[in-house]
Amino acid sequence: MKRISLTQYLVEQQREHGRIPSQLRLLIEVVARACKRIAISVNKGALGDVMGSADTENVQGEVQKKLDVISNEVLIEANEWGGHLAAMASEEMDTIHLVPNRYPQGEYLLLFDPLDGSSNIDVNVSIGTIFSVLRKVGHHHGVSEQDFLQPGRFQAAAGYCIYGPQTTLVLTVGDGVAMFTLDRETGSFVLTEENVQIPADTKEFAVNMSNLRHWAPPVKRYIEECLAGKDGPRGKDFNMRWIASMVADVHRILCRGGIFMYPWDKREPEKAGKLRLMYEANPMAFLVEQAGGMATNGHDRIMDLQPGKLHERVSVILGSKNEVQRVTDYHRDTGAEAASQPAQAA
């Protein structure tokens, strides 16, 4: 079998479809290189100084793990000097990170969740890095947080790298989804799956069931109907998976279908959800839609939400189209209150 590297794939995509200008290609290659470095740190585990807490807090008040901090630094260092970026934003940084003046400024904005699934680091379960790419719109001098506040439908590219039994980079530039497996012997990402498609129907859901009592009625209704199995209104048995790394749960859905939910719940009613719109929901929604799936917050398409601030949270329902549509219809049927969700459709 002829092996196609990530570089060759990107060059050919540009040649055939004109989708990947040189700055974007450089950006994707730099992110991929950073992910390789993160993979090396992840693999060291207890043999390196990478496990446990960093004893610091991020802007969302979460205690940072050492690997959250390391991964954030690796991504920043790798992306600062190439001339492809105007600025970066990360789940682990309070404010945007400008490219230092000594380097040329590019036209792209990079957003990332450097290490997704932090609670799984110390227990040797799959984790990942999620990224989203926007264009800086307009020709004004400098960059501000405002430049980042674009709905997800304007993403130029998005993807994630999963550090699991294999290290796999999953990418979209708006022309379908491709997967690249890291060949550790040659150090290159090799194309192993193209035109990834999520089946429209599924019998598998992913949700943290321990929160059931806190959910809104439409979400409860959907899950209770799944749990009723063959004898219930759905007339079939469902299976459940919850890895607690969004990257790993979404990866499974891209591979074999399913529905993933991290819905609003009344533990912290003022928060729209747990997951972050710009670093988690938008890039995953872009991938899922590009693979024929669907992603909503129960009311609106995630990629149509106008972000009000960088670290905004959102309720997330994504995966197999018919199931996501069903949950979204249940929200409409019960007239569930959207007021708890600050992000509205643009």
Residues that bind Mn ion (CB under 5 A): 91, 113, 115-116
Rounded CA separation 325/259 (Å): 10
Edge to edge, what strands does the sheet with 204-206 contain?
Answer: 239-240, 204-206, 259-262, 316-319, 294-296
Q: By CB under 6 A, tell whether 117 contacts ligand AHG.
A: yes
Q: How far is the CB of 202 from Mn ion (least distance, A)?
A: 23
Q: By CB under 6 A, tell whether 113 contacts ligand AHG.
A: yes
Rounded CA separation 88/133 (Å): 9
DSSP three-state, residue 146 = helix
- Over the window 68 to 107, marking each residue x when it contacts ligand AHG by CB under 6 A and - when it does not, the resulting string is -----------------------x----------------
How far is the first Cα of the chain from the last one, in angstroms, to the nearest whole number?
A: 46
Q: How far is the CB of 210 from ligand AHG (least distance, A)?
A: 8
Q: By CB under 6 A, tell whether 42 contacts ligand AHG.
A: no
Q: How far is the CB of 224 from ligand AHG (least distance, A)?
A: 19
Q: Which is nearer to ligand AHG, 88 or 99 (CB)?
A: 88
Count of positions (residues) in the chain? 346
Q: Which is nearer to Mn ion, 87 or 277 (CB)?
A: 277
Q: By CB under 6 A, tell whether 244 contacts ligand AHG.
A: yes
Supply the DSSP string of 71-87, one letter for each residue.
HHHHHHHHHHSSS-EEE
Q: Which of 13, 118, 328, 341 binds ligand AHG (CB under 6 A)?
A: 118
Q: Which is nearer to ligand AHG, 114 or 152 (CB)?
A: 114
Q: By CB under 6 A, tell whether 246 contacts ligand AHG.
A: yes
Q: How far is the CB of 227 from Mn ion (least distance, A)?
A: 27
Q: Which is nearer to Mn ion, 91 or 107 (CB)?
A: 91
Q: How far is the CB of 141 from ligand AHG (least distance, A)?
A: 33
Q: By CB under 6 A, tell whether 167 contacts ligand AHG.
A: no
> With CB cut-offs between 5 and 8 Å by kind, which of ligand AHG, Mn ion, none does residue 248 bind?
none
Q: How far is the CB of 76 from ligand AHG (least distance, A)?
A: 17
Q: Which residues of 183-220 are buried (b: 16+ CB within 10 A; e: fewer)?
A: eeeeebbbbbeeebebbeebbbbbbeeebeeebbebbe
Rounded CA separation 31/49 (Å): 23
Q: By CB under 6 A, tell whether 208 contacts ligand AHG.
A: yes
Question: Tokens standing for 175?
Answer: 């022309």
Q: Which of 129, 150, 167, 245 binds ligand AHG (CB under 6 A)?
A: 245
Q: DSSP E strands: which ranges in the chain?
A: 53-57, 63-65, 85-90, 97-98, 108-116, 127-135, 157-163, 167-172, 177-183, 188-193, 204-206, 239-240, 259-262, 275-276, 294-296, 313-314, 316-319
Q: How far is the CB of 116 from Mn ion (least distance, A)?
A: 3
Q: By CB under 6 A, tell whether 259 contacts ligand AHG.
A: no
The alpha carbon of 259 is separated from its chain's Cα centroid by a whole number of angstroms, namely 15
Rounded CA separation 270/66 (Å): 29
What backbone phi and psi angles, to 5 degrees, belong to 200?
-70, -25
> With CB cut-offs between 5 and 8 Å by kind, which of ligand AHG, Mn ion, none does residue 147 bind?
none
> With CB cut-offs between 5 and 8 Å by kind, which of Mn ion, ligand AHG, none does residue 265 bind?
none
- Chain residues binding ligand AHG by CB under 6 A are 91, 113, 116-119, 208, 244-246, 262, 274
